[in-house]
Chain A
Amino acid sequence: MKYIHFLLIVFFIGFVVSCTSDEQCRKDRYVKMSLSIYHLEYNQTTNQTTKTSLSIDSITVRGLTTEGLNVDSILYNNQKKLNKLEFPLNKFVPESKFVVTFNNTRDTITILHQNINEFLSLECGCLKVHSIDTVLTTNHYVDSVKIINHNVNTISTEHLQIYN
Chain B
Amino acid sequence: MSILSAQSIYKFTISLLFCLIINSLQAQTDKKQPEKDKVKLLNSITVQADLASIVISSLGGDSYSLEGGVQVDLKHKYFPIVELGFAGANKVSIDDIGFKTSGLFGRLGIDINLLSSKKDSKPTNNQFLAGIRLGMSNFEYDITNVVITDDYWGGSETVIYNKIPATKIWYEIIAGVRVEIFKNIFMGWTIRNRNLISQDVSGAVSPWYIPGYGINTGTNWGINYTLGYKF
Contacts and interface: CB of A to CB of B under 8 A. Distances in A.
Contacts of B17: none
Interface stretch (B25-33, B35-43, B94-102): B94-102
B153 A4 contact: no
Interface in B90-124: 91, 93-95, 97, 99, 114
B203 A119 contact: yes
B111 to A, nearest CB: 14
Interface stretch (A7-15, A46-54, A99-107): A7-15
Nearest to A16: B221
B221 A91 contact: no
Given A122-B91, A126-B146, A126-B159, A15 B191 contact: yes
A14 B97 contact: no
Interface residues of B, number: 34
Interface string A109-142: 0000000011111110111110000000000000
Contacts of B151: 88
Interface in A62-94: 63, 65, 71, 73, 75, 88, 90-93
A93 B153 contact: yes
A43 interface: no
Given A7-B175, A14-B221, A119 B205 contact: yes
Interface residues of A, number: 34
A127 B114 contact: no
Interface string B130-147: 100000000000010011
B204 A125 contact: no
A128 B148 contact: yes
Contact of A125 (B95, B193, B203): B95
Nearest to B219: A18
A23 interface: yes
A91 B91 contact: no
A123 B93 contact: yes
B208 A122 contact: yes
A23 B130 CA distance: 33
B114 A4 contact: yes
Contacts of B161: 119
Given A73-B152, A122-B99, A12 B146 contact: no
B91 to A, nearest CB: 7
Contacts of A7: 130, 175
Contacts of B130: 7
**4 tightest A-B CB contacts, nearest first:** A18-B221, A11-B191, A91-B150, A118-B203
Interface of B: 91, 93-95, 97, 99, 114, 128, 130, 143, 146-148, 150-155, 157, 159, 161, 175, 191, 193, 203-206, 208, 220-223
Given A14-B191, A91-B153, A125-B97, 20 more contacts: A4-B128, A12-B191, A17-B221, A18-B221, A73-B152, A88-B153, A91-B150, A91-B155, A92-B150, A93-B153, A119-B203, A120-B203, A121-B206, A121-B208, A122-B208, A123-B94, A125-B146, A125-B147, A127-B148, A129-B203
13 contacts: A7-B175, A14-B193, A63-B152, A90-B150, A91-B157, A119-B161, A119-B204, A119-B205, A119-B206, A125-B146, A125-B147, A127-B148, A128-B148
